[in-house]
Amino acid sequence: MPRGRAGTTPRSGVLTLALTAVVALVVTGCGSGSGGGTAADCDTSRGTLVVGLVAPLTGELASVGLGMKNSADLAIKEANDRCAVPGYHLAIQSQDDRADPRTGAAAARTLAGDPSLIGVLGPFNSSVALEMQRVLADASIVEISPGTTAVQLTRGSNPVTAPLRQYQSFFRTVATDAVQGPAAAAYMAEQADRRRVAVVSDGKTYGEGIASEFGKQLATVGGTVVTRLQLPPEASPAAAVGAIARSRPDAVFYGGEYPGAGPLSRALGAAGVTAPVMGGDGIVNPGYVAAGGREGDLGTS
Ligand X SMILES: *[C@@H]1O[C@H](CO)[C@@H](O)[C@H](O)[C@H]1NC(C)=O
Cβ 263 vs Cβ 292: under 8 Å: yes
Binding to ligand X by residue 204, rule CB under 6 A? yes
Task: Number of residues interacting with ligand X: please give it, by CB under 6 A.
Answer: 9
In contact, 114 and 3? CB cutoff 8 Å: no
Q: Side chain identity at 96, as an amino acid letter?
A: D
Identity of the residue, 57 or 74, whose beta carbon is nearer to ligand X in the bound complex: 57
Per rule CB under 6 A, is residue 258 in the interface with ligand X?
A: no
What whole-number distance in Å separates Cα of residue 105 and Cα of residue 112?
A: 10
Q: Contact between 172 and ligand X (CB under 6 A)?
A: no
* Residues from 263 through 292 that contact ligand X (CB under 6 A): 282
Q: Does 206 bind ligand X (CB under 6 A)?
A: yes
How far is residue 292's CA from residue 263's CA, in Å, rounded to a whole number?
5
**What's the Cα-to-Cα distance from 52 to each of 83, 109, 115, 218, rounded to whole Å?**
19, 11, 12, 40
**Which string of x and - marks every residue 114-153 that binds ligand X (by CB under 6 A)?**
-----------x-x--------------------------
CB of 76 to ligand X, least distance (A): 25
Which residues contact residue 12 at a Cβ distance below 8 angstroms, ignoring those fewer than 6 apart?
6
CB of 77 to ligand X, least distance (A): 28
Q: How far is the CB of 6 from ligand X (least distance, A)?
A: 28
- Please pick, from the candidates 19, 84, 99, 211, the single residue that binds ligand X as defined by CB under 6 A: 99
**Residue 38 near ligand X by CB under 6 A:** no
Does residue 255 interact with ligand X by CB under 6 A? no
Q: Sheet holding 277-279: strands in order across?
A: 224-230, 196-201, 251-255, 277-279, 298-299
- Which residues of this protein are in contact with ligand X, per CB under 6 A? 61, 99, 125, 127, 204-206, 257, 282
